């Protein structure tokens, strides 16, 4: 059985994180990079260095819009879908090779992720180990819904892998703010389409502080120390921005 790795990179994504990811998946038979409008020389040199098949595309609203194509373009029997800020440790590498070489019984595997922010591990606050369906037998793919954070639909079973990948989701505060600005617009559009009630000043305050309390206290994010405090306050801010943009949409719709 052959294994393809399919990934993507966009403007603003860290090349150092991307290079670390590419190095960790060098065991694959094929590497496909969906290039989302990167034309800088360091990125193009990295593509060549890892002998990748490059597919140039316009930047999608959310990455789920291209997930199905990421699998369809692969030549391997199995496809491992990776984000630029994830890393496959050696134990997971060995498990993936065992699964794909021994005619695994299931069609897809949900891989656990250990999440990191600003270089610190996140053990609480709702950011502790999560599972993402990323290892998929190509022949069994049925569809990948285009809504944010969706999982693929496959013919057959999906089970959990035993070993974890690393997800270095926030390299810097600047990256966090840029990501919030991008995704808050998407969330505000979804809220507006869903017909949420008009946003009021009490709504904005309540959303900010309830999310901060939920992350920091109820989900014990503060047990992670400084990074837990930063993340708890920041996630409240992120929710606030989404609702503030919704209020902006509602106001502009009236005029």
**Is residue 56 predicted with pLDDT exceeding 80?**
yes
The verdict on 141 and 51 lying in the same domain is yes
**Is the overall model pTM greater than 0.85, yes or no?**
yes
Q: Which of 169, 204, 223 is the last residue of a domain?
A: 169
The verdict on 85 and 122 lying in the same domain is yes
The verdict on 52 and 130 lying in the same domain is yes
**Mean pLDDT of all residues belonging to the chain:** 94
The domain that holds 159 is classified in CATH as: 3.90.550.10
Q: Which of 141, 169, 197 is the last residue of a domain?
A: 169
Per-residue pLDDT of 160-218, as tens digits, reads: 999 999 999 888 899 899 889 988 998 999 899 999 999 999 999 999 999 999 999 99
The verdict on 99 and 225 lying in the same domain is no
The verdict on 153 and 184 lying in the same domain is no
The verdict on 225 and 111 lying in the same domain is no
Q: Which of 152, 169, 186 is the last residue of a domain?
A: 169
Range of the domain at 96: 3-169
The verdict on 103 and 185 lying in the same domain is no
Percent of the chain at pLDDT above 90? 86
Count of structural domains within the chain: 2
Whole-number Cα distances in Å, 51 to 21, 23, 31, 46, 185: 14, 12, 7, 9, 36
Per-residue pLDDT of 67-85, as tens digits, reads: 999 999 999 999 999 999 9
């Amino acid at each position: 059985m052959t294994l393809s790795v399919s990934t993507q990179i966009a403007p603003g994504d860290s090349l150092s994180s991307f290079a670390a990811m590419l190095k960790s998946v060098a065991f694959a038979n094929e590497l496909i990079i969906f290039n989302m409008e990167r034309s800088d020389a360091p990125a193009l040199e990295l593509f060549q260095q890892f002998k990748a098949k490059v597919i140039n595309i316009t930047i999608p609203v959310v990455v789920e819009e291209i997930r199905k194509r990421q699998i369809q373009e692969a030549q391997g029997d199995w496809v491992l879908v990776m984000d630029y800020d994830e890393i496959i440790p050696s134990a997971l590498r060995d498990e993936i090779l065992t699964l794909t070489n021994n005619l695994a019984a299931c069609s897809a595997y949900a891989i656990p992720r250990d999440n990191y922010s600003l270089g610190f591990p996140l053990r609480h606050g709702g950011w502790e180990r999560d599972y993402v369906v990323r290892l998929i037998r190509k022949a069994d793919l049925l569809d990948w819904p285009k809504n944010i954070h969706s999982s693929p639909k496959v013919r057959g079973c999906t089970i959990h892998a035993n070993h974890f990948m690393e997800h270095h989701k926030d390299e810097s505060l600047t990256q966090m703010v840029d990501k919030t600005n991008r995704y808050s617009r998407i969330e505000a559009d979804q809220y507006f389409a869903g017909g949420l009630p008009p946003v009021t000043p009490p709504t904005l305050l309540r959303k900010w502080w309830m999310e901060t309390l939920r992350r920091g206290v109820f989900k014990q994010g503060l047990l992670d120390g400084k990074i837990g405090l930063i993340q708890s306050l920041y996630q409240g801010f992120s929710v606030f921005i989404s609702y503030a943009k919704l209020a902006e949409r509602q106001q502009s719709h009236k005029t």
